[in-house]
Amino acid sequence: MERNLVDIVWDDLRERVGDDLRTVVQYDARSSAVKFRPDVREQYELDERQQILDDAIVQQLSFSDQETVFKTGELRSFVRVFDEAWVLTWRDPSNVKAGFLISIQRDGDATMEDVEYCIQYLDDEVEPQL
C-alpha cells in the first residue's frame, strides 16, 4: 500500500522534531487527512478540528491583502504561538483554500528553528508534489 502525503510529511518532520510533533493535517475546502500524536487527538472533538481548518482557510483568503500592506514578499504561512504549541498553517500555492497545518510542542525541545525548517520543508519537498 502506498503511503499518503500526510504520513510522509509526518515521518520526515518527526525525524527533525521527534515527539514534539503534535499534528500534521493536509486540508482543502472539502476534506482533510490528519495524523495526530495520540495525546493530542484525545483533546479535540471532530467539530473542533473542523473549526480549526475553517479558520485556517479564512486566514489564507486574506494572504494577498496582507502582502500588499506589509510589502515583504509573498506570504506563505502563519505561525501562531501558544503557551504549549506553535501552530503553523501553510497555504498550497495553487489553491487558496488548501494547505497544511502543523503543530509542534512549544514547551518541549523543539525551537523556532524547527518551525522554520517545517516551512522550508513544505516549500521544497511538498509543494512540488501538489
Calpha distance 85→62 (Å, rounded): 23
Q: Print the domain residue range for 31.
A: 5-100
The answer as to whether 124 is a domain residue is no
- pTM score of the predicted model: 0.88
What is residue 63's predicted lDDT score, i.e. its pLDDT?
A: 66
The answer as to whether 45 is a domain residue is yes
The answer as to whether 72 is a domain residue is yes
Domains in the chain, number: 1
Mean per-residue pLDDT pooled into runs of 10, the chain (130 residues): 80 97 95 93 86 87 72 84 96 91 96 97 95
What is residue 50's predicted lDDT score, i.e. its pLDDT?
A: 85
The answer as to whether 107 is a domain residue is no
Count of CB atoms within 10 A of residue 86's CB?
Answer: 21
Grid coordinates given for 74: 509573498
